[in-house]
């Protein structure tokens, strides 16, 4: 063999692993995947991920933002001024990713905070609007994602970078969250070129990621806390062809969320009525599907397959009497369209509200007592709701 063909063969061999890895990352999402959210206050270990894998889940949407690190904000250091990844925190994150890989799970990494957008629950209960009003923070957020992608690009567990959990550039502007679609579209058009232009910020972040990592898929939440209708107000898809478009599903929020459990007579499903799209909506299976369809219909209009759409969070309070019906209706709607889903949440370590493994006999007081005593492993985990989810995941 002459030197030139040998060099060509060597070059081809060097290219093939990267090409194969590239294909593997995007092809993972070419068929519907089912998983869970891991939003724990402490880094998850291999036992946690193995328990999740045993349910039949294939992926986990994992946040590190609740973990305690060297600075105020884990990994970022300080969301008031990003100056580089914190090495010790990065090592902690990599160890958790190693544990997920050992359990056979793929991971989508998602921050709850970015520079200028500290998570409300870590910001004295105040919504942090700086990312959406000061271009300096956009620059820092872009740098953060370039740094993180460079650090994680070769990790075998990572199957996606979810750029920010539940962005809400609309929140302080007076736009109604579930307003009429023409209002949502007009608002989006008016933000072009401003700090509140979420697709433009995502485009910058993706460019920074692609400069160091051309392979890993990127997941983006629509605006207004990942509302599918906010996503449907975008004029077009993003330019990168390895993007997954995510929405969250808790509507009707007044019924599925914790405050409902404090009502003298909790709102029920189906049947609850809320303000919606400039009018009123009675929520039932058809209404749930129609709300979810906004994301899938928009994707189809953009020429995207349904496997580029992800119900990245959905859930309801486990003690709500209608939770089983609601979960089934959401899964039916997503599966009918051929998308991915991840329920919220799996074995959250500081909140029991949506821990579907817990039977109804376990009260919140029992959960907190056993958790504080270091005896969370004594909790029974034979809840009927988890049985429904297992059935869908094949576990």
The mean pLDDT of 253-263, rounded to a whole number, is 98
Question: Ramachandran region of residue 97, left (φ > 0), alpha (ψ -120 to 50) or beta?
Answer: alpha
Whole-model pTM?
0.94
**pLDDT band for position 395 (cuts 50, 70, 90):** confident
Q: For residue range 318-337, list pLDDT tens digits in order.
A: 999 999 999 999 999 999 99
Query: What pLDDT does residue 320 have?
Result: 98
Query: What pLDDT does residue 20 have?
Result: 43
Q: For residue range 107-154, list pLDDT tens digits in order.
A: 999 999 999 999 999 999 999 999 999 999 999 999 999 999 999 999
Question: How many angstroms separate the Cα of 376 from the Cα of each of 35, 45, 103?
Answer: 22, 15, 21
The mean pLDDT of 5-14, rounded to a whole number, is 39
Judging by DSSP bridges, how do beta strands 218-221 and 243-249 pair with one another? parallel
Query: What pLDDT does residue 21 have?
Result: 47
**pLDDT band for position 23 (cuts 50, 70, 90):** low
Q: For residue range 199-213, list pLDDT tens digits in order.
A: 999 999 999 999 999
- Whether 382 contacts 359, CB under 8 Å: yes
For Cα atoms 108, 155, 56, give the angle at the middle one, nearest 5 degrees.
50
Q: Residue 292 has which token pair?
A: 């979810």
Residues of the chain above pLDDT 90, percent: 93
Please say if the pLDDT value at position 3 is more than 80: no
Please say if the pLDDT value at position 14 is more than 60: no
Query: What pLDDT does residue 6 have?
Result: 39
pLDDT higher at 25 or 92: 92
Q: For residue range 75-105, list pLDDT tens digits in order.
A: 999 999 999 999 999 999 999 999 999 999 9
- Whether 326 contacts 316, CB under 8 Å: yes
Please say if the pLDDT value at position 71 is more than 60: yes
Query: What pLDDT does residue 70 have?
Result: 95
Judging by DSSP bridges, how do beta strands 340-343 and 34-38 pair with one another? parallel
**pLDDT band for position 15 (cuts 50, 70, 90):** very low
């Amino acid at each position: 063999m002459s030197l030139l063909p040998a060099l060509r063969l060597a070059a081809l061999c060097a290219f093939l692993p990267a090409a194969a890895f590239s294909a593997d990352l995007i092809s993972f999402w070419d068929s519907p995947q089912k998983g869970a959210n891991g939003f724990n206050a402490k880094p998850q270990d291999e036992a946690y991920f193995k328990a999740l894998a045993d349910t039949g889940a294939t992926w986990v949407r994992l946040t590190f933002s609740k973990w305690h690190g060297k600075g105020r904000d884990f990994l970022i250091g300080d969301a008031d001024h990003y100056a580089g990844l914190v090495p010790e925190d990065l090592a902690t994150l990599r160890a958790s990713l190693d544990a997920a890989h050992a359990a056979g799970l793929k991971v989508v990494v998602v921050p709850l905070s970015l520079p200028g957008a500290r998570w409300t629950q870590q910001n004295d209960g105040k919504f942090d609007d700086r990312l959406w009003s000061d271009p300096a923070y956009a620059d820092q957020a872009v740098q953060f994602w370039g740094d993180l992608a460079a650090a994680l690009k070769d990790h075998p567990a990572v199957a996606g970078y979810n750029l920010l959990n539940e962005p809400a550039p609309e929140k302080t502007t007076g736009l109604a969250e579930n307003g009429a679609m023409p209002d949502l579209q007009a608002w989006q058009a008016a933000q072009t070129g401003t700090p509140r232009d979420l697709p433009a910020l995502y485009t910058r972040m993706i460019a920074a990621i692609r400069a160091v990592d051309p392979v890993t898929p990127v997941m983006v939440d629509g605006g207004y806390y990942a509302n599918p209708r906010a996503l449907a107000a975008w004029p077009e898809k993003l330019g990168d062809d390895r993007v997954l478009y995510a929405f969250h599903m808790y509507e009707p929020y007044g019924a599925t969320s914790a405050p409902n459990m404090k009502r003298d007579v909790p709102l029920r499903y189906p049947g609850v009525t809320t303000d919606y799209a400039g009018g009123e909506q009675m929520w039932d299976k058809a209404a749930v599907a129609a709300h979810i369809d906004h994301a899938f219909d928009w994707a189809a209009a953009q020429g995207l397959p349904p496997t580029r759409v992800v119900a990245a969070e959905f859930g309801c309070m486990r003690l709500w009497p209608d939770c089983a019906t609601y979960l089934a209706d959401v899964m039916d709607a997503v599966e009918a369209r051929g998308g991915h889903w991840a329920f919220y949440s799996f074995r959250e370590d500081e909140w029991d509200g949506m821990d579907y493994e817990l039977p109804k006999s376990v009260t919140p007081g029992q959960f907190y007592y056993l958790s504080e005593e270091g005896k969370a492993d004594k909790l029974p985990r034979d809840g009927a709701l988890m049985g429904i989810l297992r059935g869908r995941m094949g576990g």
